[in-house]
Amino acid sequence: MKKIAPAQIAIGLVCLIMAFGITLQIKSVKYNKAVNNADYTRAADLQALLRQEREKSDELTKQVIQYKDDLQEFKEQYSKSSDLSELYKKQLDRAELLAGLTEVEGTGVVITLRDSRKKSDILLDPNLNIIHDSDILSVLNELSASGAEALSLNGERLVATSEVRCAGPTVSINNNRYAEPFEIKAIGDSANMENALLMRDGVYDTLTAYGLEVNIKKTSKVVINRFNGTINYKYALPIVKEAQ
Amino acid sequence: MLTIIACLIIGIILALFSSFNVSAEISSYVAIAILAGLDSVFGGFAANINNNFKMKIFITGFFGNAILAAALTYMGKLLDVDIYFAAIVVFGTRLFQNFAIIRRYLLNKYLPDNAQKK
C-alpha cells in the first residue's frame, strides 16, 4: 500500500486537474451556446424597440395632424376678420391645393400593381416578374400626362419633391417605404387616364407582358390624402424683382 | 481509490464554483487537451496494473500530450488541416486499449473466471 502511495497521489492530482478541466469545459460549452442564443433574444429586444419607436412615430404623426387642424382654425378666424384677409385666404387655399396640402376628392382611377403570380421561368431574370420603381414611375408619368390633378401612391400624396425610388425590396415614397401591392390613386378625367394607360403598346401592355398584374378601376369618387411630411426649402429661394 | 474519488469531486466543485469560463476560440484546444489528459490517466491506471508505473513518464505524458495535442490543433488551424483528428484517433484508440487492460484486471480480480486458472 505504501509502495504505490506516490503513484496514487500523482494520479489523484491528475484526476483533480482532469475533473476540473472537463467540468469547466462542459460549463463553458453550455455557456457559449447560451451566448449564441443571446443573438435571438437580442433580435426580440430589437423588435420590441422597433415597435416602441413606431408607436412614438404614430403619436407624433397624430400631433402633426392636430397642429395642422389648429392652424386651419386660426386661418378661418383670420379670414373672418376682414375682406383683404379673405382674399389672402383664397390665395392660400389655392396654393395649398396646388402644393398638395389639402385632402381632395373627385372622379378618377385606382390602379393596383402586383408582382407576377406566375411561376418564374428559369431562363428569365426573376427581376422581370416583380414591380420596380421604374414600373410605378411609368404609370405615374402616364397619368400625369393624361391630366391627373392629384396623385397618391399607397396613401402617400405625390408632391413636387416626392420621389419614387427603389429601396431594396421596397419602394421609397416621400421617404417612407412601401412594399407590393402598390395602389395608385389619381384624380382627373377618368376615361382619359384609363385610355392613356390602355394605349396599344402602352404602359398596361408593357407591364402585363412581364406577367405583372395591373388592375385599373374607374371610380366616380376618389379621395386623396394631403401631403403629411414637411418641406423645408433651404437652397431654393424666390427671386424678388424690384418694383419699377 | 478513495483519494482519486475525492480528487475528482474536489475538481468538479472547484470548476463549478469558479467564475472563469473557457472562451469559444480556445474551447477546441481545451477539449483536445482533455482527451490527451484522459488518455494519460487511463494509461496511468493500466501501467499501475501492470506494475510498470513510472511517475516521470506519467507526469510528463500527461502535460506533454495535452500541450502537444493543443499545439497540433493550433497548427492544424493555421494550415487549414484538421490535424486534431490525428490526436482524437490516437488518444481514442489508446484510451480503449488501456480501458481493456483495466477491464481485464478488474474482471479477474472481482469476477474470476473459474474455468481459467489464473
Kindly give, in sequence order, each residue whose CB lies less than 8 Å from that of residue B113, ignoring residues fewer than 6 positions away.
Answer: B107
- For A53-208, list the strands marked E by DSSP: 104-114, 150-153, 156-157, 164-167, 170-173, 176-178, 182-187
Considering the domain architecture, whether residues A93 and A112 belong to the same structural domain is answered as no
Give residue-wise pLDDT tens across range B100-113: 988 888 888 888 77
Give residue-wise pLDDT tens across range B43-102: 888 888 888 888 888 888 888 988 988 888 888 888 888 888 888 898 899 999 999 988
Domain that holds residue A113: 104-224
Query: Is residue A156 domain-resident?
Result: yes
Write down the pLDDT at residue A2.
Answer: 46
Alpha carbons A162 and A140: distance in angstroms, whole number: 12
Cβ-nearest to A15 among B7, B31, B55 = B7
Alpha carbons A177 and B13: distance in angstroms, whole number: 57
For residue A7, the chain B residues in CB contact (below 8 A) are 44, 48, 53, 55, 58
Considering the domain architecture, whether residues A153 and A168 belong to the same structural domain is answered as yes
Query: Is residue A35 domain-resident?
Result: yes
SS3 A167: strand
Alpha carbons A106 and B50: distance in angstroms, whole number: 102
Considering the domain architecture, whether residues A134 and A120 belong to the same structural domain is answered as yes
Please tell me the pTM assigned to this model: 0.48
Alpha carbons A227 and A159: distance in angstroms, whole number: 7
Pick the residue from chain B with its C-alpha nearest to A3.
B51
Reading the block at residue A99, the C-alpha cell is 402644393
Write down the pLDDT at residue B118.
Answer: 46
Write down the pLDDT at residue A24.
Answer: 86
Write down the pLDDT at residue A112.
Answer: 92
Give residue-wise pLDDT tens across range A21-37: 888 888 888 877 777 77
Considering the domain architecture, whether residues A47 and A83 belong to the same structural domain is answered as yes
Reading the block at residue A216, the C-alpha cell is 385599373
Kindly give, in sequence order, each residue whose CB lies less than 8 Å from that of residue B64, ignoring residues fewer than 6 positions away.
Answer: none
Alpha helices in A82-157 (DSSP H): 83-99, 133-145
Contact A12 B4 (CB under 8 A): yes
Work out how many domains chain A is built from and give that number.
2
The one-letter amino acid code at A92 reads: L
Q: Does A47 have pLDDT greater than 80?
A: yes
